[in-house]
Structure 1
């Protein structure tokens, strides 16, 4: 086979692989966005119609939508789990002044938009599945664009020493909708000085 033909075939292979990669990536992103949208719809329907919703009846009748930041895949990060050296039960303050016990389990270390971050992963005292974790955090949007008491993400360990954190899945605690509910406050390790413009906004604001 002539050298020129080999070069042409090589170019076609590279172009084909690039097209396949772009198509696959696009499809994956579309599926990802669709799944986030479905979860947001499920969340809305729970608050609007479920008997266990924290909303009062008049709030349910007035609720037409929830407010979210645009879905941004850059806020889905892979974090290294570093075990806490002083692993122990913590009494996490609640919004009503009481406390609730959580295990200080490990730290999630990752980079977000080029900035290194470290967040404390908690585990409920009664959690039976030891791969499930609770992340409560506040950031520079708290009290302005998002609920002042912080937001939550439910996490599941998906690697031996790693975990995926998707800030697009950040949601408001019940007390953001109804002050009669008591909610855990973010530990000091999880109060960020940067804005996390992903996930749910304060439902009373645009």
Structure 2
């Protein structure tokens, strides 16, 4: 079974896209939508054509599109960073039963769905840029309209004590397309009791 939870090339491309996106975060609504659409098109092309795609060759032949919620700027939130005093190393379970180590860096606290929500920001052990974080979450859409194992966001700190989380950029882990991959399971802190109707929906062959 493949144990690489996210192909490094894919992560690099997503992180670079997130950086470019953050630098243009003050764009007007029309530009914002265009940027999200461009990112979704890039994601589709990667899954459909890239040699590192999680799809098998047979899946690629039948693959027509990725499914997303309509773009909604309300799901782009500015979160307060609440540092963890004791930045422990957490062994995050993967879908194949193995574990991968991440640093518990901080909490991101934000308002959405009429309430205050909090998500744990994890950081890869070998992350060079300490402004980059890995966010795995599940919500009330999980196992219904979105992948049951949760979705991911590559978030980047853009203020001294703040970080922008755009759920329109939420994407599926590789195991949503191919069960031969092992993917990190969202920590219990990141299971939201609201519906995040934004980002990528469940993959259907």
CA contact (8 A) 1:74 1:113 kept: no
Q: Partners of 1:172 and 1:154 in 2: how far apart?
A: 12
Residue 74 of structure 1 and its aligned partner are, at CA, apart by: 0.2
Whether the 8 Å contact between 2:113 and 2:194 is mirrored in structure 1 is no
Gaps of at least 5 residues in structure 2 are: 1-26
Report the secondary structure of 1:44's partner residue.
helix
3-state SS of 2:28 partner: helix
Q: Is the 8 A contact 2:81 2:163 kept in 1?
A: yes
Q: Give the structure, 1 or 2, with the largest relative contact order (CA under 8 Å, sep 6 or more).
A: 2
User: Where does residue 184 of structure 1 map in the other structure?
Assistant: 184
Report which of the two structures shows the higher radius of gyration computed on alpha carbons.
Answer: 1
Whole-angstrom distance in 1 between the partners of 2:58 and 2:142: 26
> Which residues of structure 1 form unaligned runs of 5+?
1-26
8 Å Cα contact 2:84-2:107 kept in structure 1: yes
Contact 1:136/1:190, CA 8 A, preserved across alignment: yes
TM-score (norm 1): 0.85
CA RMSD of aligned residues (A): 1.0
The answer for the alignment partner of 1:168 in structure 2 is 168
**1:183-204 deviations in whole A, cap 9, x for unaligned?**
0000000001111000000011
Higher helix fraction: Structure 1 or Structure 2?
A: 1
State the Cα deviation string for residues 40-80 of structure 1 (Å, max 9, x = none). Answer: 00000000000000000111111111000000000000000
Structure 2: how far apart are the matches of 1:54 and 1:127? 23
Q: In 2, are the aligned partners of 1:95 and 1:183 still within 8 Å (CA)?
A: yes
CA distance in 1, matches of 2:53, 2:158: 29
Structure 2 residue 78 is the aligned partner of structure 1 residue 46: no
* Alignment correspondent of 1:65: 65
- The residue number in structure 2 matching 1:150 is 150
The equivalent of 1:88 in structure 2 is 88
Aligned to 1:18: none
- Report the CA distance between 1:85 and its aligned residue: 2.5
The runs of 4+ residues in structure 1 deviating greater than 2 Å are none
